[in-house]
Amino acid sequence: MRTILITGASNGLGLALAEHFLSNGETVVINTRTPTTAELTEKQIDGNKFRGKHLIVPADVKNRKQVQHLFALANLKVGQIEVLINCAGINIDKSFMKMDDESWDEVINTHLKGTFISSQEFAKQHEGKLGHIITLGAGCGIQGRLNGANFCSAKGGILALTKCMARELAPRIAVNCLTPSAVDTDEVVSRYNLNTQEGLKKVLTGIPMDRLGKREDVIQMTESILSSKFTTGSNFFVNGGELMH
């Protein structure tokens, strides 16, 4: 059984992955941004009575000292982390000409700097058998989108960072990027009005598989990445053909 740390796991894909691993009896360190979200996540996890052991630790991934505390506490309570999945993120959408420094910095630092800090601290503590880092990309990090220069730049940077880490951390740590499209999380459904026929039709027009992604699709690809001992520096699309690259 593995010991897995997931950042930004109070909701969305991070929480879905945490619940999956816990249901399989694995040990999961769940990172949330604040003590308040940690308490809410604790209640949800406890209510499901999963087989696996969990530890919930609030830490802002933009803050090096908080991330160091996160890993120190995890190592003390559950042992060495073998897998890091970087899910922490935020969206602050504005047009390019209205994008202010605060909105730029908050998104870039949460996604890109947070992935950098968390991955570096993971690599410092990892010893022994092959470790895994999974980063979270986005199609717009390759092709861009409207009103998201900060988010797209962060995701493009994460893809480049993934490749750099893969080169430098091999052979002891494999680093790969997971890039989903529209997955039916609450945030995505709300953002794109997917609970309306008009909003859903607009999104599905660009997806050849003609459906939204499911949490299970992302979980399946994650398990596939983690099962490989010879794959690193790759970007795995889970997007129904929305972006073929």
Query: What's the DSSP call for residue 148?
Result: B
The angle that helices 215-227 and 12-23 make with each other, rounded to 10 degrees, is: 60
| DSSP secondary structure code for residue 167 in this structure | H
pLDDT tens over the chain, length 245 residues = 899 999 999 999 999 999 999 999 999 999 999 999 999 999 999 878 899 999 999 999 999 999 999 999 999 999 999 999 999 999 999 999 999 999 999 999 999 999 999 999 999 999 989 999 999 999 999 999 999 999 999 999 999 999 999 999 999 999 999 999 888 888 888 877 888 988 888 888 888 998 988 999 999 999 999 999 999 999 999 998 888 88
Find the radius of gyration of the CA atoms of the chain: 17
3-state secondary structure of 131: strand
Q: Is residue 63 part of a domain?
A: yes
Instruction: Determine the pLDDT at residue 174.
Output: 99
- Total number of domains in the chain: 1
b (16+ CB within 10 A) / e for 219-229: bebbeebbeee
245 is a domain residue: no
- Residue 29 is assigned to a structural domain of this protein: yes
Q: β-pairing, 3-7 with 83-86?
A: parallel
3-state secondary structure of 205: coil
**Within a domain: residue 114?**
yes
- Whether residue 57 lies inside any domain: the answer is yes
